Structure 1
């Protein structure tokens, strides 16, 4: 039995990294390993805010510790700079200390950082000469371009580095000198019986955001010209992106487009006449594409890096060149016009998808590495353990909260 500590990115189960590795933790717990999870709770958030999150892990015999933080990710990671530098630094050091104590108290064999965006687990593991794995879900460009400058640190503080399989893995193996191993992000997808439908619909699932690139799909839909065909978007919206889409729809007088908002289980909305379509400009892997395949729904996806990675594994569905509206238009026409053929192909390949997408297959290499963990030699960072984990005493007047209290007092005096 191994004792494994995971450092989670958000303390929520609303993103692919958290969802997929939750299933890895549950799988390890079922195999008899002791699994502990740490996640952030931010300054000002109520203690009970993550009760449901904690309960989900507890149901799988996984202990969760919430650690108070000003910022949980690297300072230059997405999310801005909350509080002030002194407060952020204080909580970074405090959480390295708390993670180090969890390692000591539970005799942890391995620490796993479940995103490139967190570093406290790596530092705490090094202070205790404990094995550390880094799991990377993010491409090193756009909003995550910042971490390319940290590759030397990531390599130095990792005994193994894993990334999502496919193009991300190829990209990282070109950037790192270490061998970047791979896993497939798994989600326990509920299979549903699709309702009977009367008309053909193109359905896009996911947040209406710039990264999801909905306007490209709207432009293609406007050129399809198939009677009674509908386009439906399921998901919350970034206000500026939805406005841009709605302005285009109004300007071009496009009919039969519906924004239905967030649905807890969007697949219950699908019918046996629907086609899943995504024009997303970037995905790490594309779990929503896999969900469509597992429900026997014909798919049309862009050739962004994440979808290309998933397509190489499952080899099902239609793909078009991102940015090529004319090609997307033609692919939509082809699938709608020959729907029975594509539907039959989706159903015939269900068993293949299910076999390839099991928790055992998705994490096979990673679990083998965990279960055959070698003895770790002393790590040089152990010499700086106290420097990295002991904070000076904070008085109310040199803390962020102290400054807030002083401002409040000044305001009250003026009243």
Structure 2
């Protein structure tokens, strides 16, 4: 029995990387792998649900304290002092090394390009490491272009989301053939509650990147004043304020925000149309969930959405930023809803056969099953500098000592 260790990005189910790889972990458990999952401590209420769902499915979870779980230059700011962050980085590496030894781990996965601790710990313990990359190197994630050489030199396998991302990264990594995977969501179709009127629905967190203000502006242009627009999901406060102000200033009626729902698809009715306006997605799991539920969809032509569309060929695509085009597409969909619904329902069975865990993670599963050996990494020679299991109480003493020495140096 192989033991695999996953280093997870958030320890919550509010992002596609966690959702998709949770399903991979569950599948591996069913295939008799021992699966360990290490995630950062989070103050978010949903972390309890995350831990419970993992353990219910046979996944051993360890939650580690951390000030900054991602690279220093990654999104999320810089909490604490530089010395404190360095302590926690080294502490995390030390803890991962200990887990590798105690669980007799065969392979370490890092489920995001935004972390380095797993690849360092694996190199120090001479076990293979695989990166799972979900993020395009653009906007807030453009920073990791500067980390390409580190990743290339210290990991053993690189897997990226199929389609545009895999193609782009294949040109950037020189020492690896970038392999692909398709993010998998466990929703395989469900009975929608009957609806009385056709609604427009957006599922997902309200954020600038998800770009829901574009949908509000398109909705404003409609000639169907009685059609309700519903946003299902939590929100970033700053972006919600911008949307609320636009709605108020333009006196737009018929828009409703539900907030976070534990099971958002149970709030969808048989008469709904789903609309996804994201500026950027790696793949678009909500798009996949919608079409698996037989819901007519309209979505923007960002690279991730198009990668998913290339696989499934379902739904209507509009040019991102073209509000008039989106509004006209919505108008036509409302007029032709019955025909669109029939087509959407007819495609579900075929989509379910096409979209399976085995097919989605085929290259990962094949690599895991292989007996390939990997060369040791030179970073192992710095093992004593790269990790620690010192108690946190030592941190405050160390920081005070460093500050005294800096002050003495500056005084000459």
Q: CA deviation at 1:50?
A: 4.5
Tell me what 1:364 maps to: 362
Q: Could you say what secondary structure the match of 1:105 adopts?
A: helix
Q: What whole-Å deviation, never above 9, does each CA across 1:293-327 have from its counterpart, x for those lacking one?
A: 11100000011111111111110000100001111
Q: Could you say what secondary structure the match of 2:41 adopts?
A: strand
In the alignment, is residue 21 of structure 1 matched against residue 29 of structure 2? no
| Partner of residue 250 from structure 2, selected from 252, 262, 270 | 252
Q: CA deviation at 1:391?
A: 6.5
Tell me what 1:67 maps to: 64
User: 2:239 & 2:332 partners in 1: Cα distance?
Assistant: 28
Contact kept? 2:13, 2:46, Cα under 8 Å: no
| Partner of residue 339 from structure 1, selected from 337, 340, 344 | 337
Moved over 6 A (4+): 400-403
Tell me what 1:276 maps to: 274
In the alignment, is residue 37 of structure 1 matched against residue 73 of structure 2? no
Q: CA deviation at 1:203?
A: 0.6
Tell me what 2:116 maps to: 119
User: 1:58 & 1:345 partners in 2: Cα distance?
Assistant: 39
Q: Could you say what secondary structure the match of 1:69 adopts?
A: coil
* TM norm structure 1: 0.91
Q: What whole-Å deviation, never above 9, does each CA across 1:50-80 have from its counterpart, x for those lacking one?
A: 4443332222222122222221111111111
Q: Could you say what secondary structure the match of 1:224 adopts?
A: coil
Gaps of 5+ in 2: 403-412
Tell me what 1:308 maps to: 306
Instruction: Please show how residues 1-400 of structure 1 align to structure 2 within 5 Å.
Output: 1-41=1-41, 50-177=47-174, 178-189=176-187, 191-390=189-388, 395=394, 397-398=396-397
Coordinate RMSD, CA, aligned? 2.2
Moved more, 270-279 or 379-388: 379-388
Contact kept? 2:10, 2:18, Cα under 8 Å: yes
User: 1:52 & 1:277 partners in 2: Cα distance?
Assistant: 28
Q: What whole-Å deviation, never above 9, does each CA across 1:321-362 have from its counterpart, x for those lacking one?
A: 000111111111121111111111101110121112211111
How many residue pairs get matched?
A: 400
User: 2:22 & 2:400 partners in 1: Cα distance?
Assistant: 34
Q: CA deviation at 1:248?
A: 2.1
User: 2:376 & 2:25 partners in 1: Cα distance?
Assistant: 27
User: 2:115 & 2:236 partners in 1: Cα distance?
Assistant: 26
Contact kept? 1:214, 1:279, Cα under 8 Å: yes
Distance 1:329 1:291, change over 3 A: same
User: 2:395 & 2:96 partners in 1: Cα distance?
Assistant: 25
* TM norm structure 2: 0.92
Moved more, 350-359 or 145-154: 350-359
Q: CA deviation at 1:229?
A: 1.7
